[in-house]
C-alpha cells in the first residue's frame, strides 16, 4: 500500500487533518508521477504531542537498547535499498547509478558511522566529585532538503536516536518519496511509537510551525541560508537549540605546485556532481594567473565529455536539476554571468542539444571571473563553474575567504605540508586536500552564514545531547 497521502504519527499511518495535496514532479519529464498529502499546524501538533509522550520512556532507554534499534534500522534500510534508489532517481532526477552509489549509499554510511561512533561513546564521565551526564535534548524538529535526501535524513535521525531523542521529520516537499520510504523503514525496524514521526508539507505551513512549537526542544535544519534565517528567528522566541547546515560558495585553490591537469579536471567534475546541487561543491576554482588559459582549455574539454540525459540511461552522468524553479534560477544566473563580462568557455543558457523536455542544464564553465561578479558570490546550485585568477598565494587565500559562506574549501598541492599550511587559513568547516575520499567520521558543518553545529558520527550525536553536571555525585 502506498502511504503517499498519509503521515506517520505515533507509530501509525494516518490521514492529514485537512485534505491538501501536492503533485510530485519527475524533473526528467516535467510531469507529475504521484501526489503527497500536505500538512498544517494541526498535523504538527499531533506529531509533536506523540513525540513528547514517547520522550518520557525513550529518553530512559539504555545505550544497548538504542544501539539495537539503530542496527535494526540499518537492516531495514538495506532491505529497501533499491526501492529508495528508484525513488531518488524519480523525484530528483539522479542517474540510477549515482542514486545507488552515492545518494542511497550515503544514508547507509551515516547509519553505520553513527553505530560505530555510539559504540565508542561514554555518556557519563567523572571529574572529582562531579559526574557529567550526557542526556537527550528532547523533542527534535528535523527539516531536510531535496538535494541529498537520504544523506540528510540519516545524519539527523540516526544521531537523534542514539542520543535518546524523539523527533518529527519534515522532508522536502519537492523530493518527499524517499522520506516516506524511510518512515516505512523506521516502522519495519520496530521503532517505538512516537519516537519517529513524519509530516510532509511546505516551509511556512509545517517547517516554521515546527521551529516555533513550544514543545520542540531543538531544530536541526539543512537548507538555504535564507530559509535558515527564518527558522532561527522563529525558534528564538522559545529559546530552543538550533543546528543548521546552510549554503556555500566553496573555493578550490589550485596551488602552483599542484598536478595541474589532474587538479583542474577533478575540480570540474566535483563541481558538476549531483548536477551541481551540493552545498559544498567546489564552485569557485582559483588558478594562478599565468595558467588561466590552460585551466580554461582543460575545463572545457572535461565539461564537454560530461553526458547529460535520461536518468535511466546507463551512460548518463548528469540528470536534470530538481525543479522548474531551480532551472529558471540557474538560467538567470548564467545569463547574468554573460552580461557581467565573464568569458563563457562552454555550456551556457538553454538545455543541452537534443533535450527539449526536462529541467536539464548545460554543464557550464565561466573564465576570467572576478570577485565582484554575481556568479562568484551567489550560490548557483547547478552545474556551473567559475574560474578566477590569483597573483600570489596571499591573494588566493584572501579571495577564497572573501565570501559570506564558510561550509567547505578545497586545496590542491603535491606538497602535503604546503597544503596543510593553506588549509589552516581557510575559513570553512571542512577543508578537502587533494580530493580525498568522503569521510563520514569527519565533522560536517559551516562557518559564517553556512550555519552552526556539526553533523556526522559522534559530532552529530553530541548536537542532540544536553550536558548535566551532577555535583556531589561522587
Name the average pLDDT for the chain.
98
Q: pLDDT digits over 408-452, tens only? A: 999 999 999 999 999 999 999 999 999 999 999 999 999 999 999
Tell me the three cell numbers of residue 471.
555535583
Q: pLDDT digits over 137-171, tens only? A: 999 999 999 999 999 999 999 999 999 999 999 99
Give 200: exposed, middle or buried? Use CB within 10 Å, 0-12, 13-18, 19+: buried
E strands within 213-303?
A: 218-222, 241-245, 251-254, 284-288
Q: pLDDT digits over 329-350, tens only? A: 999 999 999 999 999 999 999 9
The answer to whether residue 444 sits within a structural domain is no
Q: What is the pLDDT of residue 474?
A: 81
Structural domain including 366 reads: 251-439
Angle at 169 between CA 468 and CA 195, to 5 degrees: 55
Residue 143 DSSP SS3: strand
Q: How many domains does the chain have?
A: 2
Q: Looking at the structure, tell me whether residues 242 and 260 fall in a common domain.
A: no
Q: Looking at the structure, tell me whether residues 238 and 153 fall in a common domain.
A: yes
The answer to whether residue 195 sits within a structural domain is yes
Helix or strand (DSSP H, E) at 458: helix 457-463
Q: Looking at the structure, tell me whether residues 29 and 109 fall in a common domain.
A: yes
Q: What is the pLDDT of residue 209?
A: 98
Tell me the three cell numbers of residue 467.
550536558
The answer to whether residue 182 sits within a structural domain is yes
Q: Looking at the structure, tell me whether residues 424 and 280 fall in a common domain.
A: yes
What CATH number did the domain enclosing 241 receive?
Answer: 3.40.605.10
The answer to whether residue 2 sits within a structural domain is no
Q: What is the pLDDT of residue 46?
A: 98
- How far apart, in Å, are the Cα atoms of 103 and each of 244, 440, 464? 21, 14, 24
Q: Looking at the structure, tell me whether residues 259 and 405 fall in a common domain.
A: yes
The answer to whether residue 80 sits within a structural domain is yes
| Low-confidence residues in the chain, pLDDT < 70 | 1
Alpha helices (H) in 344-415, listed in sequence order: 374-377, 393-401
DSSP per residue, 251-275? EEEE-TTS-HHHHHHHHHHHHHGGG
Q: Looking at the structure, tell me whether residues 429 and 358 fall in a common domain.
A: yes
Asked if 7 and 37 count as a contact pair (C-beta separation under 8 A), the reply is yes
Q: What is the pLDDT of residue 1?
A: 66
Q: Looking at the structure, tell me whether residues 323 and 403 fall in a common domain.
A: yes
Residue 168 DSSP SS3: strand
Q: Looking at the structure, tell me whether residues 288 and 426 fall in a common domain.
A: yes
What CATH number did the domain enclosing 295 receive?
Answer: 3.40.309.10
For the chain, the straight-line distance linking the first and the last C-alpha, in angstroms and rounded, comes to: 55
- Phi first, then psi, for residue 8 (nearest 5°) are -105, 105
Q: Tell me the whole-structure pTM to 2 decimals.
A: 0.97
Q: Looking at the structure, tell me whether residues 335 and 462 fall in a common domain.
A: no
Q: Looking at the structure, tell me whether residues 195 and 301 fall in a common domain.
A: no
Q: Looking at the structure, tell me whether residues 149 and 175 fall in a common domain.
A: yes
Residue 378 DSSP SS3: coil
Asked if 463 and 219 count as a contact pair (C-beta separation under 8 A), the reply is no
Q: Looking at the structure, tell me whether residues 311 and 171 fall in a common domain.
A: no
Long-range contacts of 233-241 (CB under 8 A, 24+ apart): 234/208, 235/211, 237/212, 238/212, 238/213, 238/214, 240/216, 241/137, 241/217
Active site residues: 245, 279
The answer to whether residue 109 sits within a structural domain is yes
Say how many residues make up the chain.
Answer: 474
- Phi first, then psi, for residue 211 (nearest 5°) are -65, -35
The answer to whether residue 1 sits within a structural domain is no
Distance CA 139, CA 168 (A): 8
Q: Which residues contact 35 (CB under 8 A, 6 or more apart)?
A: 4, 5, 21, 22, 23, 24
Amino acid at each position: 500500500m502506498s502511504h503517499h497521502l498519509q503521515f506517520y504519527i505515533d507509530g501509525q499511518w494516518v490521514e492529514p487533518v485537512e485534505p491538501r495535496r501536492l503533485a510530485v514532479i519527475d524533473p526528467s519529464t516535467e510531469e507529475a508521477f504521484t501526489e503527497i498529502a500536505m500538512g498544517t499546524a494541526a498535523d504538527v501538533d499531533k506529531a509533536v504531542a506523540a513525540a513528547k509522550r514517547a520522550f518520557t520512556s525513550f529518553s530512559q532507554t539504555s545505550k544497548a537498547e538504542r544501539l539495537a534499534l539503530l542496527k535494526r534500522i540499518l537492516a531495514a534500510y538495506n532491505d529497501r535499498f533499491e526501492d529508495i534508489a528508484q525513488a531518488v532517481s524519480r523525484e530528483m532526477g539522479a542517474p540510477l547509478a549515482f542514486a545507488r552509489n552515492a545518494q542511497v549509499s550515503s544514508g547507509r554510511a551515516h547509519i553505520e558511522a553513527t553505530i560505530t561512533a555510539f559504540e565508542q561513546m561514554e555518556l557519563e564521565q567523572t571529574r572529582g566529585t562531579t559526574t557529567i551526564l550526557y542526556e537527550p535534548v528532547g523533542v527534535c524538529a528535523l527539516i531536510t532538503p531535496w538535494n541529498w535526501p537520504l544523506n540528510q535524513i540519516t545524519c539527523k535521525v540516526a544521531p537523534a536516536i542514539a542520543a535518546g531523542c524523539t523527533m518529527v521529520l519534515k522532508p522536502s516537499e519537492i523530493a518527499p518519496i524517499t522520506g516516506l520510504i524511510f518512515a516505512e523503514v523506521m516502522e519495519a525496524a520496530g521503532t517505538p511509537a512516537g519516537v519517529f514521526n513524519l509530516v510532509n508539507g511546505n516551509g511556512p505551513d509545517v517547517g516554521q510551525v515546527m521551529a516555533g512549537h513550544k514543545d520542540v526542544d531543538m531544530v536541526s535544519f539543512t537548507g538555504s541560508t535564507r530559509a535558515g534565517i527564518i527558522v532561527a528567528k522563529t525558534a528564538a522566541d522559545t529559546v530552543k537549540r538550533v543546528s543548521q547546515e546552510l549554503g556555500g560558495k566553496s573555493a578550490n585553490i589550485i596551488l602552483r605546485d599542484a598536478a595541474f591537469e589532474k587538479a583542474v579536471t577533478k575540480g570540474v567534475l566535483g563541481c558538476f556532481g549531483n548536477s551541481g546541487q551540493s552545498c559544498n561543491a567546489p564552485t569557485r576554482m582559483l588558478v594562478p594567473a599565468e595558467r588561466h588559459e590552460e585551466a580554461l582549455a582543460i575545463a572545457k574539454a572535461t565539461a564537454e565529455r560530461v553526458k547529460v540525459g535520461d536518468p535511466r540511461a546507463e551512460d548518463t552522468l548528469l540528470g536534470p536539476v530538481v525543479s522548474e524553479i531551480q532551472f529558471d534560477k540557474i538560467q538567470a544566473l548564467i545569463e547574468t554571468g554573460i552580461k557581467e563580462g565573464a568569458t563563457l568557455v562552454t555550456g551556457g543558457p538553454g538545455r543541452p542539444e537534443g533535450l527539449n523536455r526536462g529541467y536539464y542544464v548545460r554543464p557550464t564553465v565561466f573564465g576570467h571571473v572576478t570577485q565582484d561578479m554575481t556568479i562568484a558570490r551567489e550560490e548557483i546550485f547547478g552545474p556551473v563553474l567559475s574560474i578566477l585568477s590569483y597573483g600570489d598565494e596571499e591573494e588566493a587565500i584572501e579571495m577564497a575567504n572573501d565570501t559570506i559562506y564558510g561550509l567547505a574549501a578545497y586545496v590542491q598541492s603535491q606538497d602535503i605540508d604546503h597544503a596543510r599550511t593553506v588549509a589552516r587559513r581557510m575559513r570553512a568547516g571542512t577543508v578537502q586536500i587533494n580530493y580525498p575520499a568522503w569521510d563520514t567520521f569527519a565533522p560536517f558543518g559551516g562557518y559564517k552564514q553556512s550555519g552552526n553545529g556539526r553533523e556526522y558520527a559522534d559530532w552529530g550525536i553530541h548536537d542532540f545531547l544536553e550536558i548535566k553536571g551532577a555535583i556531589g555525585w561522587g
